Amino acid sequence: MQWYSFMTTKFYLCTFLPCLFRLCVFAIITVSSGVTFGQLERLELGRRLQRFELAWEDADAQSRAAAVPEMKKAVSNFFSLKLREAGQSLDAAWQVVRPVSSGTDLEKYLASRYPDISPVLADSTQTMLKVRLAQFYENAVLPTAETTLQLVLIRARDKKKKPFQTKTISLAQAASGFDWAIGKLPEGDFELTVGFLHGGKTLDFPTSVFTRIDELDARLSRIEESLQGAAGTMNDTVRATARDTVSLLRSMQKGDIQETIYPAAARLAMCEALLTSQGTLSETMSAAAKDSDIWVSLAVGRKSVPVRIAIPEANLTSMPILFLFHGAGGSENMFFETYGAGRVVKEGVSRGWIVVAPRQGIIGTALDINEMLGELEKIFSVDRSRVMLVGHSMGAVQVMRQCSLQPTLPIAAVALGGGGKMVNAKRVKSIRWFTGAGDQDFGRRGTMQLQQSLEGSGVDSRYVEYPDVEHMVIVQAAILDVFEFLDQTLAAKDRGGP
């Protein structure tokens, strides 16, 4: 056990053990059954959380406070594995913070639905797209009001968002499902938006993405053959990235639902470029990352950890790096899509930083930050003297662990909505700390214990408590303070200060 203390682990287990036990069972069922059990729920919960966060950002203090009970209920339902009930609570919270909310039967009906499209990944010869407005949780019956839905299809990387195809259907057609003859599309990722118009009001469903790829099966087979033929000679990170990419695309090809929307064509293109030596590892991944986020499996020998990476538009030399550690039940996608609808990532990239979110399981990450940095340095120009960590809930405990493993590496650490008592905290005295929790946050006790440990050891640290904030909203509520703290830490380092 690492020095960051038995007490930290004890608090962590006592606080999260009931939740983590359910999540472990959830993961075991998923793996052992060979199916994507719960992935639809994870996808839809992420979409609903993002929708709530976007509305919360513009809501007044009174509306934010009024949404707290439903958000607490959503968190409780999630950790109890009542995932669809969690979605219903998220939608109820969203209704509270929406700028315009009438709560009509039609709106409640539509909020309880989601666009179900298939196939999500197929060969370019596939000319049909099945579309259905499916039920996510129980709600009112199909309204009789005449309502029109507009479907708009665009190329995923079209910055002008020019419609590629459009179609208008009735709500009844959408509820029963229909086949859309989209014809033979060019290879690529496509976005599908579904919105309704009724009585002068509109509501857009979260965007869906599907992909068409030329000679899909043959190209995936070639990657699999390359991996078998290059065993022992291929760069560890290239091998792990290619292996995980082809596994994902095979799953999507079978029709398995994923926890988030993946740009399959972009991921395949990067994978093929890595395996066909169309440039160095750094050139290939840097070029892919300039267009969008990239998913990479950083590997050292047999150990690997999937990460999602965003880089500044101008790939600068010697860039600071921000590691983001998600909470229990999340993944590397969580900070990119939620926690303020991805705002943490945007804030980091806008400052010229590399932003990296590793996937962690119940027992942490397969690689520590020093090992991940070793692989990232082969791809990007990383400034090792400017490493910063942010973690939420279980991720806050991971920040503590990473700082314990590498106490001289990070210059700043942020722990939100989690933590625990840190024995021998003097060892992290070279790191500046920011800790925060909501006054309605069940992780508040752990955050306060961490802060007290840091203060008792004379560590430079600051604690902020946010009124009318529960466990999920704490990251979004603290964003401005967190980045002010990180900016000040970098500025102090540039001045040669502590």
Q: Which domain holds residue 430?
A: 311-494
State the pLDDT confidence band at 83, using cuts at 50, 70 and 90.
very high
3 state DSSP class of 99: coil
What mean pLDDT comes out for the span 220-231?
88
Which of 213, 228, 248 corresponds to the end of one domain?
A: 213
What mean pLDDT comes out for the span 196-206?
76
Do 97 and 64 lie in one domain? The reply is: yes
Angle, CA 484 vertex, CA 318 and CA 369 arms, to 5°: 45
State the pLDDT confidence band at 470, using cuts at 50, 70 and 90.
very high
Do 380 and 423 lie in one domain? The reply is: yes
State the pLDDT confidence band at 315, using cuts at 50, 70 and 90.
low
Residue 297 located in a structural domain: no
Do 370 and 476 lie in one domain? The reply is: yes
Q: Does residue 124 register a pLDDT over 60?
A: yes
State the pLDDT confidence band at 497, using cuts at 50, 70 and 90.
low
Higher pLDDT, 74 or 6: 74
Do 151 and 83 lie in one domain? The reply is: no
Residue 107 located in a structural domain: no
Lookup result for tokens 């999500």: 120
Residue 266 located in a structural domain: no
Q: Does residue 14 register a pLDDT over 60?
A: no
Do 195 and 64 lie in one domain? The reply is: no
How far is Cα 389 from Cα 348, in angstroms, rounded to an integer?
12
Do 409 and 487 lie in one domain? The reply is: yes
Do 169 and 315 lie in one domain? The reply is: no
Which of 46, 70, 101 corresponds to the end of one domain?
A: 101
Do 196 and 85 lie in one domain? The reply is: no
Do 367 and 405 lie in one domain? The reply is: yes
How far is Cα 96 from Cα 62, in angstroms, rounded to an integer?
10
Residue 184 located in a structural domain: yes
- CATH code for the domain in which residue 207 is found: 2.60.40.1930
- CATH code for the domain in which residue 411 is found: 3.40.50.1820
Q: Tell me: the pLDDT tens digits for 139-156?
A: 867 776 678 889 999 998
Q: Which of these, 78, 92, 171, lies nearest to 139 by C-alpha position?
A: 92
Could you tell me which residues are beta bridge partners of residue 170?
A: 148
Q: Does residue 6 register a pLDDT over 70?
A: no
Angle, CA 66 vertex, CA 470 and CA 44 arms, to 5°: 65
Do 353 and 489 lie in one domain? The reply is: yes
Comparing 72-86, 266-280, 342-356, which segment has the lowest mean pLDDT?
Answer: 266-280
Which of 61, 81, 101 corresponds to the end of one domain?
A: 101
Higher pLDDT, 110 or 252: 252
Residue 257 located in a structural domain: no
Residue 7 located in a structural domain: no
Residue 130 located in a structural domain: yes
Do 377 and 405 lie in one domain? The reply is: yes
Q: Is 330 exposed, middle or buried (0-12, 13-18, 19+ CB in 10 A)?
A: buried
CB 439 within 8 Å of CB 469: yes
3 state DSSP class of 5: coil
Q: How many domains in the chain?
A: 3
Do 331 and 448 lie in one domain? The reply is: yes
Could you tell me which residues are beta bridge partners of residue 435?
A: 415, 463
What mean pLDDT comes out for the span 468-486?
98
